[in-house]
Amino acid sequence: MIKKKVLSLIGSPREESISAHLQRLFLSGFADFAEIEEIRVYQHEINPCTACGHCKHLTECVFNDGMTSLYHSLENSNFITVSSPVYFSSLPG
């Protein structure tokens, strides 16, 4: 059986955060039949989108930042999971 690819995006800046722990606990149920790639978003320098439209014409972002390396993982995943802490009733960033 071909293993599915699961991309795990963790949005917490803390290495051993509760949201990261819960994400890993959730994904442990998939370990037998899925290849899991974990990406800690805070370890990448990613600029906010400026809606400039550059990507519509050249299929790449005007910024050459950490997001460029994440596109490959996003495109080649069968499933994407996201965990993020909640600060003051709102997601960070």
Closest CA to 3 of 33, 24, 32: 33
Q: What are the C-alpha distances in Å from 18 to residues 11, 59, 86? A: 11, 36, 11
Computed over every residue of the chain, the mean pLDDT equals 89
Confidence at residue 61, expressed as pLDDT on a 0 to 100 scale: 86
Taking only the tens place, the pLDDT of each residue in 42-52 is 899 999 999 99
Neighbour tally for 20: CB within 10 Å: 20
- pLDDT band (50, 70, 90) for residue 55: confident
Q: What percent of the chain has pLDDT over 70?
A: 95
Closest CA to 78 of 2, 6, 1, 3: 6
